[in-house]
Structure 1
């Protein structure tokens, strides 16, 4: 049977273009019945003069509707439960909806690999599901059980078969003993960089890790009850995952916290190692602490995913946490029958990100390291060369300097005070990304002495004789200068040519005019600059105290002179 509707001819053409009085087109009625199964059709005379004519039944495919997507099946929510890192007992819910228009019978419920998981529901199977009925089960997951959770929950129906839910996660314990601050807490960042170097010294550097691997090493000193608790925890949990507090980022709560708070006041929260979705710890002593999940971070506050389960007095410590494992076999030194000392090293098992920020000062398109080194730590400098020794063990030894260039290697040490300086140093290290990024590194030494005044339009300076023309010759590593004035202004210049004026003076021709008048007594420091990168992918931060105090770091920069001429 076919519906002939107004508006088109039987060939699909517009009837107005043909001046037809009553155009018709044939549409199989079965198509309407498939698309709209609940709508009835009346066939006969209408105001459109619809005509019904018999026609062969359509053999085309049925059209899928939202009815087909929702009904005549069992809906299971959710199909997968990922518990993540479990540090407290967790409760999850499973819902089953019978979307059939007939009763279905649940014959059995089984939980495989569910040690430490309790399942409670509306009743024991066999359990009938009425048409369109929804039932709910509760899963209670305890911290007691295997370290790795891999369970499978199966609902079996008499006709329909199995419906499976996968449950995964990791059980963790909190590291509860603070470090012995008589020794520093050493935080180690380790990147990985693939470097391809040519004979000329040009490099192609490829970072292999988006974030560094991070470890913490610190000493602990425990006596009496603390020793007993720690030994038991390490005995049972040494191979598992810990929620490790970042002790250097401690916040002392200035006021008491009542039960059930979900917002915590944390000064400089963005400068500490909190992260959304991560963990934090409220700590009073080795046996009194609570782990909470961070849902949001603002400049001076934390929002928690769930209210706190305990009340906490003023003076409670709040610490960010990272998930970590003990690196190696823990060794405990029993000083007496009641006192224990140990040095532990834990490696993060999660990605440890931090904002990467390059230095603000730039020269020739590259950042300049403008942080002075800590002079309490002696700075070192080396000038290596790519030498090949040919020794036949009989005659003289032949030495070949392959490219005739010196490869400077100089150290740089920081002593940071307070959270802002420590956060800035960490951002610089993340930007350097191990050996991947390069920047200009001044020697921070008194390399040249200005002996004559220079006008602002001049591009040359006269300095005390230092062998620049004879030995430096504007080579890589000896062609870029940092000129610092006593008023704080800094000029970056490139040496074009050096000329000896007499045994006491040299003239240095620079690339651009000074722009300001230079007087010998107005200069604070003239230093050489070298374009360099870190010489190692591993960097150590030594925390002498918590974040309000001192942290030290020492690295070495390797020169890459072949890139100095690039803009």
Structure 2
């Protein structure tokens, strides 16, 4: 085992032998009992007076340097303004904003003037310039934007301090509520216009692209004006006819069930399937064109609107509330004079802002495209036709030479709707927003009895016998005649593609389809067998005629055109 060398120290107290490893200087502290007490072994140092050698000569060489920036340079010796921009959006009533200026100079500064003031723009809460800003002083102004003034607001409001200035940029649009009531003895027409660029080959294949993010919207309605409202309308058209109005979306109007007091920031209403949107407008209307208020929406809940600014008037139960859009007159309205107190007119207004809408796509799909399976409104006659991409050479001296490079007839199908209630109208608009006008394609049945089943279709069979109609001779493989919709009395709807056809006899044709039938089908079980065509809209325009508001009826009619994509 290893041996360890060590020593054991002794305590200086009660020790009989001086420990050489403990400094005896520790015993020099007064009033302490250290062992053994004695005087310091360090000699006293002679105290002497220090000599001053100022001034000290500095090095006279030039030192190169760069001054770096600091937070001091970021914040001081300038004029600060907060906020520096005001984006007002739509100004339908007086808006007041607080603007703060801070003199960040370490010396007083004189505000000489406030430049850029114009009609409908005021500043207050401070003395009229010139006056002195103390060093590091902050002052606040109330900037008021009134609804009276130029339609477009784009102003630089400048606080001029001579050698320095602070600029507040104000932008927005002044609007006036279109408060005249619609004459519902007629209808309100709502028109959506998309823009689709279509490149078509000689064989009928197409490349389509939508050129607008949102459709253009136009509202057209009849007005019956009399007495003071007629006078008000006439003068408003003279003074504001080329500017922007806040136009109620008349088909989506409703009547408030509760009263709302001045200063309220909430409007209780039904927002379901109505075009209320955050940062958009709504209009409250009374019994006359003079009783209205335009409000800006902060947020939308299922049963209420949260407003950005408080109500400026009291509104009783029964007040008419509508979502609103900014719009301008498409043309100056022509007044029809009934007598010296009453006139009738029709107004056409183009919406000046994009209006979004949820897309609605039918849930049924066939061969990777949705199927529009709702039968059209056939109260009025609907037309079906075809067009061909014919090329014609005519020398005028001989016979015409005509060629059909596509070798296909592209169907034209008129379709009409009669909707009832907000949900159906909402889905109708959503369908066309999904189709984006003429861009997207959808399967459209003819909803006609195109083929007649004559024999029972057995389970697991892929054949069906129909009454002779010339399908084998003329339609096999033709565009718009390959796919069928079979509607059964038990509400089942089947979709098949015809792959082959033969003439069994002078009265019967047999068709082969691409999928077997899972159950037995009797001819008596069939309501109708209709051809289906893959179609797009023939143009980019959808017009909805509102017979009454969105809780009532609306009509629409379009023409679909067959396309070749599969």
Counterpart selection for 1:111 from 100, 109, 115: 115
Q: Deviations over 1:404-453 (max 9, x none)?
A: 21111111111000001000100001111111111101111011111111
Q: How far apart in 2 are the matches of 1:332 and 1:122?
A: 49
Q: Give matches, 1:263-282, under 5 Å.
A: 263-267=266-270, 269-282=271-284
Structure 1: distance between partners of 2:159 and 2:169: 12
Asked if 1:97 is matched to 2:99, the reply is no
Residues 199-251 of structure 1: CA deviation (Å, up to 9, x unaligned): 11110001000100101011111111221121121121110100001111011
Q: Which residue of 2 aligns with 1:74?
A: 79
Segment of structure 1 superposing worse, 337-346 or 357-366: 357-366
SS in 2 for 1:402: coil
Deviations for 1:32-80, whole angstroms, at most 9, x for unmatched residues? xxxxxxxxxxxxxxxxxxxxxx9x9996766655444333332111222
Whole-Å separation in 2 of the counterparts to 1:396 and 1:153: 76
Q: 2:140 aligns with which of 136, 153, 161?
A: 136
TM-score (norm 1): 0.86
Distance 1:348 1:537 in 2: 17
2:456 corresponds to 1:461: no
- Among 288, 303, 310, the alignment partner of 2:313 is 310
Partner SS for 1:386: coil
CA distance in 2, matches of 1:315, 1:191: 37
Q: Is the 8 A contact 1:106 1:155 kept in 2?
A: no
8 Å CA contact retained: 1:324, 1:349: yes
How large is the Cα RMSD of the aligned pairs? 1.9
Once the two structures are overlaid, the 10-residue window that deviates more, 292-301 or 360-369, is 292-301
1:179 aligns with 2:182: yes
Q: Deviation digits for residues 344-383 of structure 1, max 9, x if unmatched?
A: 1000111111112211111111111122100112211111
Q: Does 1:339 align with 2:342?
A: yes
For 1:225, the equivalent position in structure 2 comes to: 228
Answer yes or no: is 1:85 the counterpart of 2:87.
no
1:197-276 correspondence to structure 2 within 5 Å: 197-267=200-270, 269-276=271-278
Q: Is the 8 A contact 2:452 2:466 kept in 1?
A: yes
Q: CA deviation at 1:398?
A: 2.6
Structure 1 stretches of 5 or more lacking a match? 1-53
Q: Contact (CA 8 Å) 2:115, 2:160: kept in 1 or not? A: no
Aligned-pair distance for 1:122? 2.2
Among 522, 525, 533, the alignment partner of 2:525 is 522
Cα contact 1:474–1:498 (8 A) shared by 2: no
Aligned-partner Cα distance in 2 for 1:252–1:494: 51
Q: Pick from 123, 126, 130: which aligns with 1:122?
A: 126
Local SS of the residue matching 1:405: coil
**Aligned mates of 2:63, 2:473 — CA distance in 1:** 98
For residue 35 of structure 1, what is the aligned residue in structure 2?
none
2:546 to 543, 547, 556: 543
Deviations 1:140-181 (A, max 9, x none): 1111222222322111224x4222222222211111112111
* Deviation readout 1:281-324 (Å, 9 max, x if unpaired): 11112111111111111223211112212211221101111000
Taking the aligned partners of 2:407 and 2:462, their CA distance within structure 1 comes to 29
**Count of aligned positions:** 506
Does the 8 Å CA contact 2:255/2:318 hold for their aligned counterparts?
Answer: yes
> Quick check: 1:354 aligned with 2:368?
no
Shift of 1:506: 1.0
TM-score (norm 2): 0.86
Provide the rounded CA distance (Å) in 2 between the counterparts of 1:309 and 1:447: 63
Q: Is the 8 A contact 1:109 1:153 kept in 2?
A: no
Determine the C-alpha separation between the residues in 2 that align with 1:301 and 1:110: 42
Query: Contact 1:498/1:507 (CA < 8 Å) preserved in 2?
Result: yes
Counterparts of 1:550 and 1:490, CA distance in 2: 28
CA radius of gyration, larger in: 2
Query: Could you say which residue in structure 2 is the equivalent of 1:34?
Result: none
Q: Secondary structure at the match of 2:452?
A: coil
The answer to whether the 8 A contact 2:78-2:164 is kept is: no
* 1:149 paired residue number: 153
Give SS of 1:165's match: strand
Name which of 553, 557, 562 aligns with 1:554.
Answer: 557
> What is aligned with 1:365?
368
CA contact (8 A) 1:103 1:128 kept: no
**Distance change >3 Å, CA 163–CA 527, structure 1 → 2:** same
Query: Could you tell me which residue of structure 1 aligns to residue 35 of structure 2?
Result: none
Question: Within 2, Cα distance between the matches of 1:520 and 1:98?
Answer: 91
Q: Which residue does the alignment assign to 1:534?
A: 537
User: Are the counterparts in 1 of residues 97 and 142 from structure 2 also a CA contact under 8 Å?
Assistant: yes
> Which position in structure 1 is the counterpart of 2:195?
192
* CA–CA distance in structure 2, aligned partners of residues 528 and 399 of structure 1: 29
In the alignment, which residue of structure 2 is the partner of 1:324?
A: 327
Q: What is the 5 A alignment of 1:381-530?
A: 381-530=384-533
3-state SS of paired residue (2:408): strand
CA distance in 2, matches of 1:511, 1:108: 86
2:486 and 2:202 map into 1 onto residues whose CA distance is 32
Distance in 1 of aligned mates of 2:439 and 2:127: 61
